[in-house]
Amino acid sequence: MTTAVPPSPAAARTDLSVWPASARPAPDGDVAVGGVPLAEAAERFGTPLYLLDEYEVRERCRTYLRSFPDTDVLYAAKAFLCHALLHWVREEGLGLDVCSAGELEYAVAAGFPSDRIVLHGNAKSPQDLEAALRLGVGRVVIDSAWEIARIAAPVPAGTRQKVLVRVVPGVSAGGHVAIRTGTDDQKFGLSVADGGAEHAVARILDQPRLELVGLHCHIGSQITEPGPYVTALRTVVALLARIRDRHGTVLPELDLGGGHAVAHRPGETALDIPALGARVRRELAASCAGAGLPVPRLAVEPGRALVGPAGVALYRVLAVKRTGARAFVAVDGGMSDNPRPALYGARYAPRLVGRRTTAAPRTATVVGRHCEAGDVLAADVALPGDVRPGDLIAVPVAGAYHLSMASSYNAVGRPPVVAVADGRARLLVRRESLADIRSRDVGL
């Protein structure tokens, strides 16, 4: 990822470049998102709190559809999942990518058409496959040779389940080693280099209850340039040509996955989606022409890029501690609602909201309330030197992989989610209570 260039102190107080497009600063030091002042939302719903800008999500869906015409755009539900969000992406014309029976059942219960859903997973359970077949999922992505017979066996006689094969194109891309999935040294997919992908294709073509409709690849996350996708595309098209030559089968679909980078801090590079769409479609047409193949139906799977920049997390400061040259600002959330800094070293740009200040900025580390030294939300960031308990801290680009990866560590309930639009705020997901946590404990 491109290294962020820190803004000047004055610019940092006004820079809303990574916030939702609706974000507006207020004279009293607050910020409004979707026409809703953040301090007002915090007072009404409490903190920690997640706000999700509905129009930002919808506009990002539309950007993908404009950038990838005649393409299946599938929202990667693992980024964040709730009924309202499913409703928004369905209304905007997107399909869905799920990774478990739980996500699948959740989506279908919310009214999402099962034939527009693709099921992924490197280790699908019997429950995952049972749900996929029972609910009529549109595609199952085969991730290993072991899955072929397991998927085929329960398919009802006289029917066929459409499947894709996830291949590993040997492309290393992504913002952190833990999210690079396009090489042979990780758990996903079947290798192109060692012949594993072609062997799986041959086995699937021999299964009368499976219909192989295409290939799939996902090379990583937080990818900032189109180049890695083009490299992967060329490798996969070459494989499509070999499948045609060896088996006489022309596969009609190609899924290039997601992993499109967003900027979490001013100065970082986000992937240009219109440029990606133009480049990928151009290269796909050229590669297929060179191989004598018809252009397959393309699919992409954005998750973070749709909902990440639409979310804002709000925290209340509980304590400020200065130790030597270091300042720690402790808030009422932490790694239980955002584990990404601990898992991936994710960096954010928190901001004081809700009051004016003329204090000079001071380097501080925003930490959570949990009993872990690694419970850090934002290390070495600029905050006003007079930050104090009771202040409100806002963290933009908080819509993806926060609550979807959250826990109830230390018996701290997960925060609520509130949608904002047109100056109105409405609760989407309520706060998790201690009663919710205790209800799972059945006793001695």
C-alpha to C-alpha distance for 74 and 401, rounded to whole angstroms: 17
Active site residue 371: yes
Chain centre distance of CA 249: 34
User: Which one of the listed residues 61, 82, 288, 371 is annotated catalytic?
Assistant: 371
Half-sphere exposure for 439 (CA within 13 Å, toward CB): 6
3-state secondary structure of 357: coil
In terms of Cβ atoms closer than 10 Å to its own Cβ (0-12, 13-18, 19+), residue 359 is exposed
- 34 neighbors 423 (Cβ within 8 angstroms): yes
Give the span between the Cα atoms of 400 and 403, in whole angstroms.
Answer: 7
- Are the C-beta atoms of 151 and 131 separated by less than 8 Å? no
Q: Which residue has the tokens 């584990």?
A: 339
Instruction: List the structure tokens of 32.
Output: 């409004």
262, 340 contact by CB (below 8 A): no
The span from the CA of 115 to the CA of 143, in Å, is 20
The phi and psi torsions of 299 (rounded to 5 degrees) equal: -135, 145
Element (H, E) at 319: strand 311-323
Residues with active-site annotation: 371
